[in-house]
Structure 1
Amino acid sequence: MRQIFLDTETTGLSPESGDRVIEIGCVEMVNRRLSGRNLHFYLNPQRPNSEDAVKVHGLTDEFLADKPLFAAIADEFLAYVDGAEIIIHNAAFDVGFLNEELKRIGRPRFTEFVAQVSDSLTMAREMFPGKSNSLDALCKRLEVDNSNRSLHGALLDAGLLADVYINMTRGQNSLVIDAVVAGGGDFAVAEIDFAAFQLHVIMADEQEATAHDLLLAELDKASGGKTVWRALVA
């Protein structure tokens, strides 16, 4: 199973109004293991950044002036994502921008190149209803180190999202499920006869038993009666 965590940075919030993608970051995971085969581009948007956007990502017009156009990297980008599950935090935003970039160069919509797009924000809202589910909030909740995130960055954020996703889905992927994925086919789980196992019982020694009786006596005294388990034995 090949999954790609994707994030973009943009000149503003509205692709319909002409805002453009200025950074793409992708982190690859294969069979729930980060492969290290990542992809990262800075892009010349051919238009100025909004001031608010620069405050978020710090990518100035001067920095982006000599970077390639989206058209120049499109084939490499599409070949990289081809056939994979793409995981994006607030997917509608990034996919909307990618669709506009592809439309400008006469290419099909983004979803036609990939197996599926999964929205980790939707997943987080289902897991943590009523709570903040921004990437920063999830990092804090799931103990993912985001101390280097003073500004947003597409590759940095894609990497953080990968760690967040692994933690969010850890309970959903047992060793059996991982074995099915790795094997690429059906996986039969053998039935285990637990009667064949001998359970070793370690009894308390005399000193431990005496200490336990003293503790129960103190509880009886404090409660004015017998503790439940002593009353049941009596």
Structure 2
Amino acid sequence: MRYYIGAYYLIKLCDSNFGTYEGKKLHTCTTCINDSFFDAWSISWAENGKNISAETKTDFNLNEKMIKKIQNWTDKKMEENKIGWICTFADLETLVEYKNTFFAKAESEILSINFPESERTELLNLFNPEKTSFGEIGLSENLKKGITEKNDELTLGYDLIGIENSGEFHSFHCHDLASDLIEKFGIEINEFGLINENDNWTEMVEYMNDEKNGFESSPWFYVKVNKVTKKASG
């Protein structure tokens, strides 16, 4: 099956603090569970960028000088369409430049999320900026390009993500759903906390999108999570 690049993320893995996998590191790109080295605080005109919390400064070892440099860099890259809303890198090269410039020594993971053809088509339809009062999210901008996943990335597994109008998203882990999905669809959760490839993924997506099951009304998608294993250099 062909997969298309949705976005790259620079992730700081955190120990999950709730649910079945409490204390485990889950390789999902949702910031409900993990931290992103590139977030709303990285953008000068975003509300979080104007009022950066003390916790964020501590978590990422930020000072005012570094924040200013990051925001200046980000503003420029957004004008160049190298970065999308919210907190998505359009390509690996831009992410590597960011990492090497500001977080070269930080322990991090470079992950990408990739959409199968039918999920790509569905997202582009649902998040069409002409049909909504919101601006276009980075995932939509990237998927429009139709760039297929990179062959040299390591597939860690698959995630089910519920995407909000802002471009932020939840994982099935946010609802502690692993046991439920194992029972209903016979999935396996691997060492990365992700779903092993499963032929029942379309049924799982239908289940997540059925409002009577009590999940967020945001549309849910099935994505492949890849890890960039080659040494980042820019």
Structure number having the greater strand percentage: 2
The answer, yes or no, to whether TM exceeds 0.5 is: no
Q: Which has the higher contact order (CA 8 A, sep 6+)?
A: 2
TM-score, normalised with respect to structure 2: 0.28
Larger Cα-atom Rg = 1
